[in-house]
Amino acid sequence: MSGTADSTDRLELYADYVCPFCYLGTRSLEQYREEREAPLEIDWQPFDLRSGKRNPDGSIDHEVDDGKDDQYYEQAKQNVRRLQEEYGVEMNQIMATEVDSLPAQQASWYVKQEYPEQWAAFDEAIYQALWQDGRDIGDADVLADLAESVGLPIDEIRSAVEDDGLRTELEDRFQAAQRRGITGVPTFVYEDHAARGAVPPAQLERLVEGAEQAQR
């Protein structure tokens, strides 16, 4: 999902792997890109939905009240099922509340910096592992296996997952996103325009094409 040409249009995508709407949003985005004549580069930006529940060591304190009760999750599940049907997406699981995405985000951020040409395949492998295969993407062994499947060096991915400096860098990115006004994911940003949520391909088209027309 990544391009390299300077002339290619670029869409920023703020996402967290454990967010089912992010997975559904990437499916919608792929449908839009398939219909679009010109290439569209995707600039993934990490976002941590669990930032308010993390301990200093990065682990999740599941006892912290984040204001999301059973009614919230039931409504979210209904919305996920509705979008599954709308976008024609099968999912092995609907929610992933017990899975920690930070290791996957660290690994993905490392790959984006060091192996940009292979990032798209790794990004897709992470989403597929969680939502299609029900695997724990917070497990270093799982991430190493996914890395190997797309031709990435396993030892480097394992090191990235354990790299405290990389975690600090990601935390800075998370905070920068919040300062920018990103409060939830997925959020698609094109130029100064944004769309939040797993919006349909037609809305992504309006986001990008509308901004392009406004510039002419």
Give pLDDT tens digits for 177-212: 999 999 999 999 999 899 999 999 999 999 998 866
Please give the pLDDT value at position 67: 85
Nearest to 100 by CA among 62, 144, 146, 153: 62
Any idea which residue has 């990004």 for tokens? Answer: 123
For the chain, give the mean pLDDT.
93
Model pLDDT, residue 116: 97
Asked if the model's pLDDT at residue 125 lies above 90, the reply is: yes
| Cα gap 123→100, rounded to integer Å | 16
For residue 162 the two structure tokens come to 């354990």
Over 80: is that where the pLDDT of 7 sits? no
All domains of the chain in start order, with CATH: 9-215 (3.40.30.10)
Reported as a single tens digit per residue, the pLDDT across 136-165 is: 999 999 999 999 999 999 999 999 999 999
Task: Quickly list H helices, the chain.
Answer: 20-35, 70-87, 102-114, 116-131, 140-149, 154-162, 164-179, 201-215
Cα gap 6→8, rounded to integer Å: 6
Q: For residue 215, what pLDDT is reported?
A: 60
**Residue range 108-124, pLDDT digits in tens:** 999 999 999 999 999 99
Asked if 174 contacts 6 with a C-beta cutoff of 8 angstroms, the reply is no
pLDDT at site 1: 45
pLDDT, mean of residues 157-177: 96
